[in-house]
Structure 1
Amino acid sequence: MKKYTLLSILCCAFFWLSAQTPQVDTTLEVVPLDETVIAVTRSSMAKRAVAQQVRVLRLSEIEAANAQSSADLLLNTGQVFVQKSQQGGGSPVLRGFEASRVLIVVDGVRMNNAIYRAGHLQNIITMDNAALDRAELLFGPASTVYGSDALGGAICFYTKNPRFATGDEKVKLRGNAFFRYGSINQEKTTHADFNIGGKKIASLSSFTFSDFGDLRMGENSGLEGV
């Protein structure tokens, strides 16, 4: 009798503890999202479904690079060669092509076309990398989408979007500013941007001033006596 009583008590205690400690699944389910690109088809498309080589620079990468210019930002990827005639600028080269054979697009607007000169073209200097939200590099011919002037590829820049007021906010005010000095080429850069947004209307103003020293030729160029 004692054995049966002890067994009954143990069974009741076990069921009581089980009821007091509900089983909770604490496993986090991670769902990877496909990275999308727009440069290839001018519409959102999964990167893994694109046949051509595409390099995407997200905002986190752009900020971490802290490049002096948009040309240096491309150069730091290790996949784009940049010819420089002066500090702060550069002529990007994709698959051996540059200038009028590499298309530069900012928010869907062409920065160059086939009538531009075929030599070194420094017009990327007009693109402020501090105002960039994303960049997509399309390597190889993109004439199907952009025309024959994209023979070497296309470089598509996307600027930051203004932020609207959300929730109980009536107006969203936001600003950023920084100053940078580079001793390697006497770079002095000042940037400031200001966002003001309502429920239906918002604007983002970005201002950057840069000044660089001279681009000097190396001592062993072989042109010392010229």
Structure 2
Amino acid sequence: VKQILPRVGCVGLIVLGFVPDALSGQEVIDEIQVTATRRAANVDEVSAAMTIIPLEEIVSVKVVTDSIMGRPGVFMQQTTPGQGATIIRGLKGSEVLHLVDGMRLNNAIFRNAPTQYMALVAPGTLERIEIVRGASASLYGSDAVGGVIQALSRFPSFDSIGSHGEAFLGFDTADLAKIVRASAEFGDEKLATLVAGEYLNTGNRKTGTGKRIGPSGYENKGGRVAVVLTPHSGQTLLFDLQVSTQPVT
């Protein structure tokens, strides 16, 4: 698939496993969230103001905070081209809780200044991002007085023996960015594994005058291994290792 955007060149390749042809007869499922209630619930049943960013809006971004930029009630301060600090309704830093699959990236004892920890989450294997705007201290404590941002990862799951994988290649002419992402999933109904990796390298950013600002380039490397073991119905054992680093930023 080749997509051409203004000042951006992008090439994506996706290889998926078998998908049934007759999708039209499937029942449409209501959108579900877990962050605003700490349990699965229909978005229409939640009183909190929230935004859900789906997979389709995450998969092609350079860093995960790019997909959060411009959302209602959310301001993104880009401290460097490879990072971004989220401000929800004027609150920031230790007042906004950052989660990855329920694990805290920050807490109330962190500095009360714009923090860029969410930018270190690799976007390649995320399923969605949930943003809760407004106080959630009754659920998460004082470090969620401004809101909660949670990145939810994709986990491997199969009804029978199978496998599938995907790859994404991208190039951005504005800052000479090169993106490589790949993942593979395999297993059966009892044991499933996901292996993924990604690499991003950008040059100096190009301004509207045609000049490049330096140093503004950065590099990002990430990888993930997830194993889901389901020995019996209702029992699940999970191993998930995620690593992301910016050696040059």
1:205 alignment partner, one of 181, 195, 198: 195
Give, in whole Å, the separation in 1 of the partners of 2:172 and 2:206: 16
> 2:58 aligns to what?
62
Q: Give yes or no for contact 1:85–1:215 (8 Å, CA) kept in 2.
A: no
Name stretches of at least 5 consecutive residues in structure 2 with no aligned partner: 1-23, 210-249
Give, in whole Å, the separation in 2 of the partners of 1:194 and 1:76: 32
Note the 1:50-129 alignment, pairs <5 A.
Answer: 50-63=46-59, 66-77=60-71, 79-129=73-123
Spell out, residue by residue over 1:112-145, the C-alpha distance to the aligned partner (whole angstroms, 9 max, x if none).
Answer: 1111111221111221112110111000011011
Q: Give yes or no for contact 1:71–1:88 (8 Å, CA) kept in 2.
A: no
User: SS in structure 1 opposite 2:142?
Assistant: coil
- Higher helix fraction (1 or 2): 1
Question: How far is 1:80 from its partner?
Answer: 2.2
> 1:148 aligns to what?
142
**141-150 or 115-124: bigger deviation:** 115-124
Number of aligned residue pairs: give it: 186
- The answer to whether 1:192 aligns with 2:188 is no
Spell out, residue by residue over 1:1-28, the C-alpha distance to the aligned partner (whole angstroms, 9 max, x if none).
Answer: xxxxxxxxxxxxxxxxxxxxxxxxxxx9
Sort the Cα spacing of 1:74 and 1:189 in 2 relative to 1 into closer, same or farther, 3 A.
same
Name stretches of at least 5 consecutive residues in structure 1 with no aligned partner: 1-27, 220-226
Identity of aligned residues (%): 29
Sort the Cα spacing of 1:198 and 1:187 in 2 relative to 1 into closer, same or farther, 3 A.
same
Question: How far is 1:61 from its partner?
Answer: 3.7
> 1:136 aligns to what?
130
Amino acid at match of 1:149: D
User: SS in structure 1 opposite 2:143?
Assistant: coil
User: SS in structure 2 opposite 1:104?
Assistant: strand
Give, in whole Å, the separation in 2 of the partners of 1:119 and 1:58: 28
Rg comparison, structure with higher value? 1
Question: How far is 1:78 from its partner?
Answer: 5.1
Give, in whole Å, the separation in 2 of the partners of 1:184 and 1:122: 23
CA RMSD of aligned residues (A): 2.6
Question: How far is 1:212 from its partner?
Answer: 2.4
Give, in whole Å, the separation in 2 of the partners of 1:165 and 1:36: 22
- Higher strand fraction (1 or 2): 2
